Each structure stands twice: as structure tokens, then as C-alpha cells.
């Protein structure tokens, strides 16, 4: 499934989740005063948007590649392919599953590196590159 198909499938799935959550809450929303409506709809939003964040993060992770160490260019070794992280976000609660790597050369811990990072680093390293390419190469991987 390519990225556009994956995005369309996620939007379709989350649309159905929203409709089901709203249908379940609707009778109570109709009986509530304005403050009660907002409270109940906020709960509906949290129940729906938490899974939306999970799906969006998973779709991003599908495009990640371990790449090379951003500090020394060494080989990154997989530490954990799907380390769970439970978060209470602004729009809902969710669990992210992210791959973690450690550099065999310098020991730097790195979360998943975007596939484009290597190309940007290569461009930055060959003949200096431009400042934006260097910033992109430095900014994509995150340290723990």
C-alpha cells in the first residue's frame, strides 16, 4: 500500500470511528446544556483524535529508514523496532510505537531516521551543500 492509499484508508477508518463515537454520544449531547455538550464532545474528540495521532505516527514511521548515525556516519544497530510510548496529548491519549537505534561507532541513541536524511547528508557532505540541506540532515534524527 503506497502512502496515498494508506492515508486514504486511515481517513476512512477514522471517519467511521468518529461517526460511531458521535452516534453513541448524541442522545446525551441533545439532553445536555451548553457546557455539558462541550464536555461530552470533548470526550468524543479525545476518543477519536488519540487513535488519529497513532495512525498518523504509524504512517510516518512506515517511511522511516535507519540511515546512518547523524554524529559520526557510523552504522546504526536496531535496539528496539517498536518501543511503545504512552502519551496524554492535547487531543487524546495514544501509544506510539517507534524504532530505536544505537550507533555502533559512537553509541548515540537515535529514533527512526527519515529515508531522506541520508540523501540530504550526502548532499551536505559532498562539496559542502547548502545550509538548508545541512540543517535538514542534522534536524531529522532525534536524540533520546
Residues within the interface to Zn ion (CB under 5 A): 69, 71-72, 74, 103, 105-106, 108
**DSSP letter assigned to residue 36:** H
Smallest gap from Cβ 141 to Zn ion, in A, equals 10
- Between 51 and 141, CB nearer to Zn ion: 141
**Minimum distance of Zn ion from residue 71's CB (angstroms):** 4
For Zn ion, the closer CB: 87 or 108: 108
Number of helices and strands (H, E) in the chain? Answer: 4, 5
Least distance from Zn ion to the Cβ atom of residue 113, Å: 12
Query: 14-47 as b/e, with b when 16 or more CB fall inside 10 Å?
Result: beeebeebbeebeeeeeeeeeeeeeebeeebbbb
Nearer to Zn ion, 3 or 75 (CB): 75
Cα 31 to Cα 18, 28, 40, 42, 137: the distances in Å are 20, 5, 11, 16, 54
Q: How far is the CB of 75 from Zn ion (least distance, A)?
A: 9
By C-beta, is 72 or 135 nearer to Zn ion?
72
Amino acid at each position: 500500500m503506497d502512502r496515498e492509499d494508506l492515508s486514504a484508508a486511515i481517513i476512512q477508518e477514522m471517519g467511521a470511528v468518529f461517526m460511531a463515537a458521535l452516534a453513541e454520544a448524541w442522545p446525551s449531547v441533545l439532553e445536555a446544556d451548553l457546557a455539558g455538550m462541550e464536555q461530552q464532545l470533548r470526550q468524543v474528540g479525545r476518543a477519536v483524535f488519540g487513535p488519529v495521532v497513532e495512525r498518523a505516527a504509524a504512517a510516518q514511521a512506515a517511511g522511516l529508514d535507519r540511515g546512518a548515525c547523524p554524529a559520526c556516519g557510523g552504522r546504526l544497530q536496531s535496539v528496539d523496532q517498536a518501543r511503545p510510548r504512552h502519551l496524554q496529548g492535547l487531543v487524546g491519549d495514544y501509544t506510539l510505537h517507534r524504532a530505536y537505534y544505537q550507533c555502533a561507532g559512537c553509541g548515540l541513541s537515535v529514533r527512526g531516521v527519515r529515508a531522506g536524511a541520508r540523501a540530504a547528508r550526502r548532499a551536505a557532505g559532498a562539496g559542502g551543500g547548502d545550509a538548508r540541506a545541512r540543517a535538514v540532515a542534522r534536524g531529522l534524527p532525534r536524540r533520546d
